[in-house]
Amino acid sequence: MLPSLCSKGAGIDINSFSAPHIERHDSLGSTNDRAMELARTGNPGPIWVVADEQTGGRGRHGRVWIAPRGNLNASLLLIDPAPPARLPELGFVAGVALAQALHDTLGGDRDLKIKWPNDMVYKGAKLSGLMLEGSRLADGNQVCIIGIGVNCEDTPLDIGYAATNLTKVAGRTIKAGEILARLTHAMDRELGLYARGANFGYIRERWLGFAAGLGGTLRVQSGQRTTEGRFETIDSAGRLVLKTDGGRVAIEAGDVFLPNAHA
């Protein structure tokens, strides 16, 4: 498991960390790509790859993730963290860890939520994105990379939906290093409690405690199909469960649109 780094609150600088499980860069095309390179050259993980600037980041569904300086751009490399069939659950594990880290940063602000499957939002406006990538190595080991981008000091423009940043929300400067310290600690804890999939039920309940729009009406776009209904829960596989006029629908992938989102 990852060694825990205890956060001391505001003013933590990313360059203050010297733990060997964090590899830092001034600029990278993609922290996920660098993490995959480490895996393929024999790094056993876990290791965080962090860059002050990311010029070729990726989001879900092949979208570009805009990552200016001042924000957190990080990827966690894990080798065989769970049985192959359970690897998608790590998105929810990471979502809970990130939610807890940001929740602590904002002093327990209840307007901080997770938008299914794993975007962090504040009053509906996006604060962060999270993406899983995986591959099997030549030796048969399974690579899982968790890429995380957090808007700490800057809000990306022209991304097509409401967004904000932690500094604006908190009313004080939030440095990437402060979030990294809290995140490494929270990720260590949640991965331990997840226990390679044995306790996904615990993660699911934790996730639902942060869920945006739970009990309300959501609209989900899956390809050309739009589904609207009341957000009841996520099931044991992490699928979004909506109650629609035609009955309950479990959605495996799609874009969720929350009502009244604003920056």
| Whether 234 and 145 share a structural domain | no
Are 170 and 130 in the same domain?
yes
Residues 193, 234: one domain?
A: no
CA 52 to chain centre: 18
What mean pLDDT is predicted for residues 60-79?
80
245 and 180 housed in the same domain: no
Residue 4 lies in a domain: no
Q: Are residues 164 and 253 in the same domain?
A: no
- Does residue 224 sit in the same domain as residue 195? no
Are residues 74 and 18 located together in one domain of the fold? yes
Confidence of residue 118 (pLDDT cuts 50, 70, 90): very high
Long-range CB pairs of 102-110 (<8 Å, 24+ gap) are 102/127, 102/128, 102/150, 102/166, 102/179, 102/182, 103/210, 104/7, 104/182, 104/186, 105/166, 105/170, 105/174, 105/178, 105/179, 105/182, 106/166, 106/169, 106/170, 109/169
Residue 26 domain flag: yes
Domain harbouring 223, CATH code:
2.30.30.100
Q: What is the pLDDT of residue 146?
A: 98
Q: Are residues 199 and 235 in the same domain?
A: no
Per the domain annotation, does 192 fall within a domain?
yes
Predicted TM-score (pTM) of the model is: 0.88
Residue 1: predicted pLDDT: 36
Tell me, yes or no, whether 8 lies in a domain: no
Domain that holds residue 91: 14-209
Tally of domains within the chain: 2
Mean pLDDT of 66-94: 94
Peptide bond into 88 cis (omega under 30): no
How far apart, in whole angstroms, are the C-alpha atoms of residue 77 and residue 100? 20
